[in-house]
A and B are shown apart, each in its own frame.
Chain A
Amino acid sequence: MFAPLLSSKLMIVLIFGTLFGLILGVLPGLGPTTGGALILPFTMTLDPLSAIVLLTAIYCSATYGGAITAVLINTPGTPAAAATCLDGYPLAQKGEAGRALGMATVSSTIGGIFSVIVLVFFAPLLAQLAYEFGQPEYFALAIFGLTMLASIGEGSPIKNLIAGAFGILISTIGKDFMTSIERFTFGVNELSEGIGFIPVVVGLFAISEMLTQSTLLNQVFKRVALKAVKLPTLFDYKKTWKTIIRSSGIGSFIGVLPAEGGTVASLIGYSEAKRWSKNPEEFGKGSVEGIAGAEAANNAATGGAMVPTLALGIPGSATTAVILTGLIIHGVRPGPDLFREQPEFLYGIFGSMLIANILFFIFGFFGAKIFARITLVPNKLLWPMIFAVSVCGTYSLSQSMLDVWIMLFFGVIGFFMRRYGFSVVPVIIGLILGELVEGTLRQSLVIFEGNWLLFLTRPIVVTFFILSLIALAFPLLRKKKK
Chain B
Amino acid sequence: MSNVQKPKGANKSLPFFFRDEFKVSFIIIFISIILLITTFTFDIVPPILNRGIQPATFPKGLLVLIIFLTFIVYYLSLNKPWKIQKKLPQSFFLTLLSFIVFIVISKTLDFFLAISLLSVFVSYCWGERRIIYLILVSIIFPIIVFVFFETILGLRFPPGIITNIYYQV
Contacts and interface: CB of A to CB of B under 8 A. Distances in A.
Contacts of A473: none
A41 B155 CA distance: 11
B103 A162 contact: no
Nearest to B86: A215
Contacts, number: 173
A181 B55 contact: yes
B161 interface: no
Q: Interface majority SS on A: helix, strand, loop or mixed?
A: helix
Nearest to A378: B128
Interface in B98-156: 99, 102-103, 106-107, 111, 115, 118-120, 122-123, 126-128, 133, 136-138, 141-142, 145-146, 149, 152-153, 155-156
Contacts of B84: 419-420
B123 A381 contact: yes
Chain A: interface residue count, which band?
35 or more
Interface string A140-169: 000000000000001110110110011011
B118 A387 contact: yes
A333 interface: no
Given A176-B55, A381-B137, 13 more contacts: A82-B1, A158-B72, A162-B70, A179-B50, A182-B43, A184-B35, A215-B91, A217-B91, A381-B123, A381-B136, A395-B111, A420-B82, A445-B53
Contact of B62 (A154, A156, A168, A423): A168
Contacts of A211: 92, 95-96
Interface string B1-34: 1111000000000000000100010001000000
A214 B118 contact: no
A51 to B, nearest CB: 13
A454 interface: no
A156 B77 CA distance: 11
Contacts of B45: 179, 181
Contacts of A156: 73
A174 B38 CA distance: 14
A67 B50 CA distance: 53
Contacts of A179: 45, 49-51, 55
B111 to A, nearest CB: 8
Interface in A387-424: 387-389, 391-393, 395-396, 399, 401, 404-405, 408, 411-412, 418-421, 423
A462 B13 CA distance: 47
A211 B99 CA distance: 10
The residue among A161, A162, A165, A388 with the most chain B CB atoms within 10 A of its own CB is: A388
A444 interface: yes
A443 B107 CA distance: 42
B58 A172 contact: yes
B58 to A, nearest CB: 5
A122 to B, nearest CB: 30
Contacts of B136: 381
Contacts of A392: 115, 145-146, 149, 155
Contacts of A444: 52
B149 A396 contact: yes
A166 B28 CA distance: 10
B35 to A, nearest CB: 7
B51 A443 contact: yes
19 contacts: A45-B152, A155-B2, A158-B72, A162-B28, A182-B42, A183-B39, A183-B42, A214-B95, A217-B126, A380-B126, A381-B128, A387-B119, A393-B149, A396-B153, A401-B106, A423-B2, A441-B52, A441-B58, A446-B51
Contacts of B118: 384, 387
A193 B102 CA distance: 25
Contacts of B138: 384
B59 A172 contact: yes
Interface string B50-68: 1111011011001101100
A184 B38 contact: yes
Given A82-B1, A169-B63, A179-B49, A380 B153 contact: no
Contact of A384 (B76, B99, B137, B158): B137
Nearest to B133: A381
Given A45-B153, A217-B127, A184 B119 contact: no
A158 B2 CA distance: 15
B69 interface: yes
A443 B52 contact: yes
